[in-house]
Amino acid sequence: GDSVTQMEGPVTLSEEAFLTINCTYTATGYPSLFWYVQYPGEGLQLLLKATKADDKGSNKGFEATYRKETTSFHLEKGSVQVSDSAVYFCALSHPYSGGGADGLTFGKGTHLIIQP
Amino acid sequence: GAGVSQTPSNKVTEKGKYVELRCDPISGHTALYWYRQSLGQGPEFLIYFQGTGAADDSGLPNDRFFAVRPEGSVSTLKIQRTERGDSAVYLCASGKEPTDTQYFGPGTRLTVL
């Protein structure tokens, strides 16, 4: 079955540091890929997504590129802020194909802590 | 509504009891999903509704778990004979259509004593 593996946390960085959170996946076909973020005390929010190979999703200074050859979707940000402290989840789903859509398959989450 | 809402926000029950968890999706969203998130884990898919029907219930762990969406809007997740291992945060998400972005609610934290 499908699975998502992301780097273990917590990841602790200083403000303005460069961020990479690794994510790799195992799936049949051509899944869509997502990063969700959960800020303290809040619900899961979609951060960015990519629906086909070589697509780049971007939002709030974060970027991730869908790499089919390495089955990866690493999250990057050039200069993190204290407000980026949160738990980040990599996820995948399969587009509706007439046989029914399916739910998201999530990684375990990476807790990011940004220190001033 | 402005977003997906879930009630109650917290539920404490005793082993063996029956519980119901409610989800109000964003108005007009036809797709509705339930997930379960255990401590330190990512959410796990339970069931997906398209309209009133359960299009995929492959994630339900056993027959103690059941969900309904009788009018294609509000959904209720029902757990019979609760066990301590059912303790988790239960998340609901909705989408305009099956391929659309899923918008998550704040979750219901279930604790089974």
pLDDT of residue A99: 41
A25 closest CA partner among A57, A72, A81: A72
Report the number of secondary-structure helices (H) and strands (E) in chain A.
Answer: 0, 12
User: What is the pLDDT confidence band of residue B111, given thresholds at 50, 70 and 90?
Assistant: very high
Please list the ranges in chain A whose pLDDT falls under 50: 97-100
The pLDDT assigned to A36 comes to 96
Chain A hits for B91, CB-CB cut-off 8 Å, are 43-44
Give phi and psi for B81, each to the nearest 5: 45, 60
Neighbours of A111 (CB within 10 A): 15
Q: Which of A21, A22, A27 is closest to A2 using CA atoms?
A: A27
User: How far B47 CA lies from chain A's nearest CA (Å)?
Assistant: 8
**Helix, coil or strand: residue B86:** helix
What pLDDT does residue A42 have?
87
Residue type, B17: K
pLDDT tens-place string over residues B6-65: 999 999 999 999 999 999 999 999 999 999 999 889 999 999 998 898 888 989 999 999
Contact A100 B43 (CB under 8 A): no
B28 closest CA partner among B46, B3, B8: B3
The predicted pLDDT at position A81 comes to 97
